[in-house]
């Protein structure tokens, strides 16, 4: 039960989709965003993984910025459709590049769902489905890097939670999906 409670907290903290509105259109490559060097390294790691190699083109093609900002306690990151930005709590600014990449993978999955129009037209079920995909995507990236044992030197809360989510994806993917659906049912119904 403790893992369940801890994992539920991780689910809520890792994801917040802000201001879901109509999708934005694609833009030309000349308008691609300039990323912070740390974000660029994280995106390169995502490019190298089959689970996440399509995400950079979604961010670039839709001019989605990635920024570090102070966030409320318990919120690790979020994607804002209205502002075309992934915001990551600045307390994770010093996280290693792999951890940063996993967080971006989660939020970029929401970006993909938003710009495709899926979130704007699918209601509460689309919101929950997007959460399931986002947690699964970040878990698959994490597993592609660390394997089934997870990050061996997980010293901070975020790394431990990513280890827990990846472990659940490996051992009980249906259980992970059920937990995400249960955790996000209230948030996604608003």
DSSP 8-state code for residue 50: T
Domains contained in the chain, number: 1
pLDDT for position 8: 55
What is the domain range of residue 58?
Answer: 2-188
Across the range 47-70, mean pLDDT stands at: 96
Residue 4 Cα to chain centre, angstroms: 20
Q: What is the pLDDT of residues 145-177, one digit of tens each?
A: 999 999 999 989 999 999 999 999 999 999 999
Two structure tokens written together for 11: 């689910």
Distance, in Å, from the CA atom of 22 to the CA atom of 120, rounded to the nearest integer, reads 5
Dihedral angle computed from the Cα positions of residues 165, 122, 49 and 140, in that order, rounded to the nearest 10 degrees:
20
Two structure tokens written together for 9: 């907290």
**Alpha helices, DSSP H, located in 24-172:** 37-47, 55-61, 97-115, 118-146, 157-171
Q: What is the pLDDT of residues 67-110, one digit of tens each?
A: 999 999 989 999 998 999 999 999 999 999 999 999 999 999 99
């Amino acid at each position: 039960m403790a893992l369940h409670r801890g994992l539920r907290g991780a689910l809520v903290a890792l994801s917040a989709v802000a201001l879901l509105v109509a999708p934005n259109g694609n833009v030309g490559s000349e308008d691609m965003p300039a990323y912070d060097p740390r974000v660029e390294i994280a995106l390169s790691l995502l490019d190298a993984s089959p689970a996440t190699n399509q995400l950079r083109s979604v961010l670039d093609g839709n001019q989605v910025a990635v920024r570090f900002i102070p966030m409320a306690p318990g919120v690790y990151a979020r994607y804002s459709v209205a502002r075309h930005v992934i915001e990551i709590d600045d307390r994770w600014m010093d996280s290693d590049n792999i951890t940063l990449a996993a967080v971006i993978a989660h939020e970029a999955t929401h970006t993909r769902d938003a710009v495709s129009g899926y979130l704007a037209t699918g209601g509460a079920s689309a919101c929950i489905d997007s959460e399931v995909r986002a947690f699964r995507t970040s878990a698959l990236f994490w597993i592609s890097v660390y394997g089934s044992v997870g990050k061996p030197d997980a010293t901070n809360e975020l790394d431990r939670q990513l280890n827990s989510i990846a472990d659940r994806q490996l051992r009980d993917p249906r259980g992970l999906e059920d937990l995400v659906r249960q955790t996000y049912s209230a948030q996604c119904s608003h």
